[in-house]
Structure 1
Amino acid sequence: MKFRFLLWMLGRLMGKASRTNLDFQQQLGDKDLTFQLHTLDGKVARHFIVKDQRITSKSGPAVEPAFSLGFKDAAYGYATMTAKNKQLAFMQGIQDKNIQIQGNPALVMWFQGLIKYLKPRKKK
């Protein structure tokens, strides 16, 4: 349940950032694609649609995603995406085959670059 909520919240945060954050919009550029995050058992899936410098998300698997990240199960996906050192957690998961990438790996790196724009801003 936590993983499902995390994916939903990620969609909300990226949607808001795509409307209000100019740096985030620049990262989206002219991309027109769909990607998904899911569990390998198929119990949890959410796809994200990038079009016209906006991101929307929908529950369930995508028809033809440009890339997908599959986690061995929901608990592992939640732990990986909330880890202090996300890059290390992802690399370890890929090595251990607990995370599977399908599609274009360069787009996975692009997606990970988007996440840094979703961190809360420090108050001045």
Structure 2
Amino acid sequence: MMKFKLLLWMLTKLLQRAVKTNPKCAAYVKDKNVTFQIQTASGEGRYFEVKNSKISSHAGQTKSPSFTFTFKNGSTGFAVLSAKDSVNTFLTALRTEDLVITGNFVDVMWFQSLVDFIQPHSQSSSTV
């Protein structure tokens, strides 16, 4: 569980750095106002806020996220989020219900594109 929590915290830092150092990323979040969470089935995780051209996150849950990624457990969440073959791993987790996505899928797709800003350039697409 600790690796999962650390990974979510690092995701925040990577996204914040991308907003500060990449003008395209800064433009991408400029007018966005969304709150989402990434958690385990037991409720452990973080919620993320994109507001006023900034990204922040907080431990725990928010009452009304736009969307939620819920992993079966922390080790599954860590494995999916840190996988080298992220697209196939992500899709497999959805198929096997190790990951359940609820909420606004337009915002989910927006988030998927946001995460592309922190991916190595050798990858063409990402999941998280």
Give the corresponding residue for 1:50.
50
Distance 1:112 1:52 in 2: 19
Distance 2:63 2:22 in 1: 29
Distance 1:96 1:3 in 2: 19
Q: CA RMSD, aligned part only?
A: 1.6
Distance 1:100 1:25 in 2: 29
In the TM superposition, residue 23 of structure 1 has moved relative to its aligned partner by 1.2
TM-superposition CA deviations, 1:47-91 (whole Å, max 9, x none): 110011211111111121000100000000000011112111111
Give the corresponding residue for 2:72.
72
Q: Structure 2: any 5+ residue segments left out of the alignment? A: 123-128
Q: Structure 1: any 5+ residue segments left out of the alignment? A: none
User: Which ranges of 4 or more aligned residues in structure 1 deviate by more than 6 Å?
Assistant: none
In the TM superposition, residue 8 of structure 1 has moved relative to its aligned partner by 0.5
Distance 2:76 2:89 in 1: 10
SS of residue paired to 1:19: helix
In the TM superposition, residue 29 of structure 1 has moved relative to its aligned partner by 3.7
Give the corresponding residue for 2:108.
108
| Length, aligned pairs only | 121
2:22 is the counterpart of 1:25: no
Give the corresponding residue for 1:16.
17
Give me the TM-score of the superposition, normalised by structure 1: 0.89
